[in-house]
């Protein structure tokens, strides 16, 4: 409880330098051209919010952590323009009908969810056929020595950083969930520590069922 409060309270301050150096630009690039109905999972304190354009006609921000959600609600209340709905739900169980969104946004969330495969199945379910997952996520290092450090530190890191895993292979998991990459890029989150520096960002499309692409299980 106290750890969750501290994380939420200091999140924006802790992220500020990385926001200035790279994250704010990635956020703008990721959501700045979206339109239609958009769901963001694990919205945190709402650092993507200011980048959504008015062409997004329905914006739902979901966040299960009450301390994060309080800050999110404050940012939403301060924002003029198109209406935004904040909901309390985990991404493993999204409270929306099938095919109800054009885009799902996930930034720095799939590292922390309890069950990434279930989350990706839910994302796929709520996307309309042809809809897109827009994401950036930190992932396992490709350098063996950094990866060994990540494996070593991961248990303590998860405890302190809200279940944040350091060694997930999120890009592969997205593909395994039946979402086809239309754009993928590996980039460095600077000046974050090496342990969380490697980021995958991109877009992955929900293939229509009749295109014959079924989800398969992936190891995380």
Binding residues for ligand SAM, total number by CB under 6 A: 19
Whether 114 contacts 49, CB under 8 Å:
no
Cβ nearer to ligand SAM, comparing 66 with 208: 66
Q: Smallest distance, Å, CB 213 to ligand SAM? A: 25
Q: Smallest distance, Å, CB 94 to ligand SAM? A: 9
Phi-psi region of 183 (alpha: psi -120 to 50; beta: other; left: phi over 0): beta
Residue 91 touches ligand SAM, criterion: CB under 6 A? yes
Cβ nearer to ligand SAM, comparing 29 with 209: 29
* Binding segment (CB under 6 A) for ligand SAM, from list 87-95, 124-132, 144-152, 207-215: 87-95
Q: How many beta carbons lie within 10 A of that of residue 29, not counting itself? A: 13
Q: What are phi and psi of 66, to 5 degrees?
A: -65, -30
Q: How many residues does the chain have?
A: 220
Whether 7 contacts 66, CB under 8 Å:
no
- Alpha-carbon distance of 59 to 105, in angstroms, equals 10
Measuring CA to CA, which residue among 187, 215, 192 is closest to residue 202?
187
Q: Smallest distance, Å, CB 142 to ligand SAM? A: 22
Residue 71 touches ligand SAM, criterion: CB under 6 A? no
Query: Which member of 30, 39, 43, 165 binds ligand SAM (CB under 6 A)?
Result: 43
Three-state secondary-structure class, residue 103: strand
Query: Which member of 112, 150, 170, 175 binds ligand SAM (CB under 6 A)?
Result: 112
Residue 64 touches ligand SAM, criterion: CB under 6 A? yes
Using CB under 6 A, which residues numbered 122 to 161 contact ligand SAM? none
Q: 56 CB contacts (<8 Å, ≥6 apart)?
A: 31, 34, 35, 36, 37, 38, 82
Residue 116 touches ligand SAM, criterion: CB under 6 A? no
Which residue ranges make up the site for ligand SAM (CB under 6 A)? 41-44, 47, 63-65, 68, 90-92, 107-109, 112-114, 162
């Amino acid at each position: 409880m106290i750890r969750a409060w501290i994380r939420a309270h200091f999140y924006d301050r802790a992220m500020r330098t990385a926001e200035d150096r790279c994250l704010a630009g990635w956020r703008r690039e990721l959501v700045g051209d979206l339109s239609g109905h958009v769901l963001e999972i694990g919205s945190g304190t709402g650092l993507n919010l200011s980048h959504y354009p008015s062409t997004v006609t329905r914006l739902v921000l979901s966040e299960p952590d009450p301390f994060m959600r309080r800050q999110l609600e404050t940012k939403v209340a301060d924002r003029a323009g198109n209406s935004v709905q904040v909901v309390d739900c985990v991404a493993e169980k999204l409270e929306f009908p099938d095919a109800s969104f054009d885009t799902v946004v996930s930034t720095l969330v799939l590292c922390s969810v309890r069950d990434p495969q279930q989350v990706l199945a839910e994302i796929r379910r709520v996307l309309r056929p042809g809809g897109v997952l827009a994401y950036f996520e930190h992932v396992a290092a490709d350098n063996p020595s950094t990866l060994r450090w990540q494996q070593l530190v991961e248990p303590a890191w998860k405890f302190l950083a809200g279940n944040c895993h350091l060694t997930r292979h999120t890009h592969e998991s997205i593909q395994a969930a039946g979402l086809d990459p239309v754009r993928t890029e590996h980039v460095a989150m600077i000046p974050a520590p090496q342990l969380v520096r490697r980021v995958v960002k991109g877009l992955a499309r929900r293939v229509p069922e009749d295109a014959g692409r079924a989800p398969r299980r992936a190891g995380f």
